[in-house]
């Protein structure tokens, strides 16, 4: 019974501390300009909530989708099922995404994050400013047909320009365009390796070696071809240039 009274006393004292007027835990006050400012606690809570969407933002609003699909198709075209491993492909895709998206991230940091840290703008204004660089990037790599499709599905048939499209329309249109572009690049990657498979299969059939799998013979030749042409540099350079980097 003594421990029960001690716990009850601690709970009562804690509740009294939270109810004290000197500790503004969850408050919303007028800023004098017709708007409202929330307490730091609510701001931190909002930021932590947004961080849960960070993986989705990286995958759906950056170059990550195109890069990871192209690298996965490349592994499949060579015929290597587990090399490089999925962890290496995802890690390489993440670092390439950060490299490609550096201009966008720097603009977000300059126009939104730093003014917010300096308390020059509100969290809502920082969020609105951070959306602009991503919107410009996604519009540059979104097909008008895909944008028009999602605009009609969402009921935005009367958009004056693509810049007026809300994020509700722009993000799925951008992802659809990225999927199409990634598969187009993957098709071009598959062609030379497919030619090697066909040549090896024809030679084996001519020699009467019907029971020997052509993949076993063609795999070393595909790896050798990929190494001789410096395939990793070509693939990574092509992916970077497809987003407007480099000459």
Mind listing the pLDDT tens digit for each residue in 192-231?
Answer: 888 888 888 888 777 777 677 777 778 888 888 888 888 8
Mind listing the pLDDT tens digit for each residue in 36-63?
Answer: 555 556 556 666 666 666 677 777 788 8
Q: Which two tokens stand for residue 12?
A: 């009562």
CA distance 78 to 221: 10
| Structural contact between residues 226 and 84, judged by C-beta atoms closer than 8 angstroms | no
Predicted model pTM? 0.73
List, in sequence order, every beta strand (DSSP E) within 17-140: 28-30, 36-38
Peptide bond preceding 108 in cis form (omega within 30 of 0): no
- How does DSSP assign 181-229, residue by residue? HHHHHHHHHHHHHHHHHHHHHHHHHHTT-TTS-HHHHHHHHHHHHHHHT
């Amino acid at each position: 019974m003594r421990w029960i009274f001690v716990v009850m006393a601690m709970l009562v004292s804690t509740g009294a501390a939270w109810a004290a007027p000197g500790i503004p835990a969850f408050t919303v006050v007028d800023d004098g300009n017709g708007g409202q400012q929330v307490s730091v606690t609510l701001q931190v809570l909002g930021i932590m909530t947004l961080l849960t969407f960070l993986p989705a933002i990286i995958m759906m609003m950056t170059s990550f989708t195109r890069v990871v699909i192209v690298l996965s198709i490349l592994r499949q075209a060579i015929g290597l099922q587990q090399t490089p491993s999925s962890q290496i492909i995802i890690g390489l895709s993440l670092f390439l995404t950060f490299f490609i998206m550096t201009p966008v991230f720097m603009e977000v940091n300059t126009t939104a994050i730093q003014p917010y840290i300096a308390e020059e703008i509100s969290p809502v204004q920082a969020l609105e400013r951070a959306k602009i660089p991503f919107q410009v990037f996604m519009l540059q790599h979104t097909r008008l047909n895909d944008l028009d499709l999602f605009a009609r599905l969402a009921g935005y048939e009367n958009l004056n320009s693509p810049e007026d499209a809300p994020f509700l329309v722009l993000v799925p249109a951008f992802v659809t365009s990225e999927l199409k572009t990634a598969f187009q690049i993957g098709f071009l990657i598959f062609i030379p390796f497919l030619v090697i498979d066909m040549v090896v299969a024809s030679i084996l059939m001519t020699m009467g070696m019907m029971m020997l799998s052509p993949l076993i013979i063609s795999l070393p030749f595909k790896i050798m071809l990929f190494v001789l042409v410096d395939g990793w540099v070509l693939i990574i350079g092509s992916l970077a240039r497809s987003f407007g980097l480099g000459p």
